[in-house]
Structure 1
Amino acid sequence: MRLSAPIYHLKRRAKRLSREEGVPLHDALDRIARTEGFSAWSMLAAKAAALTPADRLFPQFMPGDMVLVGARPGQGKTLMSLELAVEAMRSGHRAAFFSLEYTEKDVRDRLQAIGVEPAQFDELFEVDCSDAISADYVVKQMAAAPRGTFVVIDYLQLLDQRRENPDLNVQVRTLKSFACDQGLIVVFISQIDRSYDPSVKPCPDLSDIRLPNPLDLKLFDKTCFLNNSEVQFRAAS
């Protein structure tokens, strides 16, 4: 059974229901679960955990890979990227999350939203929310990162927002070369153009990436697109 929305959306519905109707949160969660065809929230949560694709996707990544994770707002691209980072850490690798969008608290709150206690991975997980994030900044910060380190950049379209930074294509090429040399896996969270129409195709693809500046999309080895609980993963041919 496929859920009608990502589990974190269902949790938000339950919290809103709890506030609006003055019922305990656990009752609201169970009510939401029943609308999804489960007798209780615990059953839905167990099913959702089994449906999480990150554990199936992560083994397909190799050191040196450049990965694009794209979706419209609210479809779970940040959570998917964090789930993949968690899989990397569970495999004994380090992970780093560079964000021009969120604060460190936001990132840790989102880890908790997917059922992960941040303290569990404190020694393996680095969050960097500096305004100076760019390709050169990431290269400098990750210069000593061991092979297999999983790096998330949030998000692609913000990398060249500062005029002093090189253009986006140059930065992505820099990171591709660095990932190959260091044996890192680099994931870019990406916006999707508003023209994307889910009634035409169930998931966006490379043609739907929002590109305010030119970028050679062939630089990415693998892509993962999300929409309405649908996940499409592709490796470059």
Structure 2
Amino acid sequence: MKLSAPIYHLKRKAKRLSREAGIPLHDALDRIATTEGYSAWSLLAAKAAAVTPANRLFPQLKPGDMVLVGARPGQGKTLMSLELAVEAMKSGHRAAFFSLEYTEKDVLDRLRVIGIDSAQFDELFEIDCSDAINADYVVKQMAASPRGTFVVIDYLQLLDQRRENPDLTVQVRALKSFARDKGLIVVFISQIDRSYDPSIKPCPDLSDVRLPNPLDLTLFDRTCFINNAEVQFRAAS
């Protein structure tokens, strides 16, 4: 059964319904699923997950890669990053989600949006929402991680928001070196500048990355940009 809209749009519709009707998000998701012909959101999400950009893109990643996932708010960059992490765990690798933006509950809620119960991965998945997150913190937490561990950092522009933290380029360089030495895959969720105009190009690109502080974008090996269900994944140039 074909969905009436991309799953990211249906999720936003459910969030709006949750606010307007004063019901829990999971109930709103189930209501939206019903309108699409499914008895529960988990069934809809499982069907949608059968063929997704994430399960096509993940096999292209290799240990040591640094990946930038960028989109304007509400376009699915967090869900894409989580879907990639799920693909890693399905392959038997560990995954970690470091967030300066969300709480642990927020992250678990977003996993449920894509039809995933974190319990199914038991000890493979780690969520860290510490206020102390920066490159040094991630390196220390991941020091004993096995090759192939998948790390998501949410999000790039917050890493140097505290004055005591090193410059953003210094932090990204450190994480790139660490990822290559340890054989990890590191994904950075990134904001896109408000000046991005979808009427001019279907997806943002590196020139649209919001950079309140300087950053050498050539440090990234691959990029994934999303807009209105359009996904563009390529090697960074």
TM-score (norm 1): 0.88
> Does structure 1 residue 30 correspond to structure 2 residue 31?
no
Structure 1: stretches of 5+ with no match in the other structure:
34-39
Structure 2 residue 21 is matched with structure 1 residue 12: no
* 2:85 corresponding residue in structure 1: 85
Aligned counterparts, 1:153-172, within 5 A: 153-172=153-172
Contact 1:97 1:128 in 2 (8 A): yes
Structure 1 residues 219 and 28, CA, compared in 2 at 3 Å: closer, same or farther? closer
C-alpha distance in structure 1 between counterparts of 2:193 and 2:172, whole Å:
19
From the superposition, tell whether residues 163 and 18 of structure 1 become closer, same or farther in structure 2 (CA, over 3 Å): closer
1:19–1:126 CA distance, 2 compared to 1 (3 A) = closer
Amino acid at match of 1:169: T
Q: Tell me, yes or no, if the aligned pair for 1:65 and 1:222 is still in contact at 8 Å.
A: yes
The 8 Å contact of residues 3 and 229 in structure 1, kept in 2 or not, is answered as no
Which residues of 2 match residues 26-175 of structure 1 at below 5 A?
A: 29-31=33-35, 33=36, 40-41=37-38, 45=45, 48-175=48-175
In structure 2, the residue matched to 1:221 is 221
Partner SS state of residue 50, structure 2? helix
Segments of 4+ moved more than 6 angstroms = 16-20
Matched residues, number: 227
Q: Secondary structure at the match of 1:166?
A: coil
Asked whether the equivalents of residues 46 and 114 of structure 2 are also in contact (C-alpha less than 8 Å), the reply is: no
Amino acid paired to 1:189: I
Secondary structure of the corresponding residue to residue 68 of structure 2 = strand
C-alpha distance after superposition, 1:166-218 (max 9, x if no partner)? 10000000000000000000000000000001111111000000000111100
Q: In 1, are the aligned partners of 2:14 and 2:32 still within 8 Å (CA)?
A: no
- Structure 2 CA distance for aligned equivalents of residues 46 and 134 of structure 1: 34
Q: 3-state DSSP class of the match of 1:82?
A: helix
User: Paired residue for 2:186?
Assistant: 186
2:201 pairs with 1:201? yes
**Which residue in 1 is equivalent to 2:177?**
177
Q: SS of the residue aligned with 1:50?
A: coil
Q: Residues 165 and 208 from structure 1, CA distance in 2 versus in 1: closer, same or farther, beyond 3 angstroms?
A: same
Distance in 1 (CA, whole Å) between partners of 2:122 and 2:224 is 27
Instruction: Go from structure 1 to structure 2 and tell me whether the alpha carbon gap of 1:16 and 1:201 turns closer, same or farther (over 3 Å shift).
Output: same
Identify unmatched segments of 5+ residues in structure 2: none
Larger Rg: 1
Q: Which amino acid aligns with 1:92?
A: G
One-letter amino acid of the counterpart of residue 232, structure 1: Q
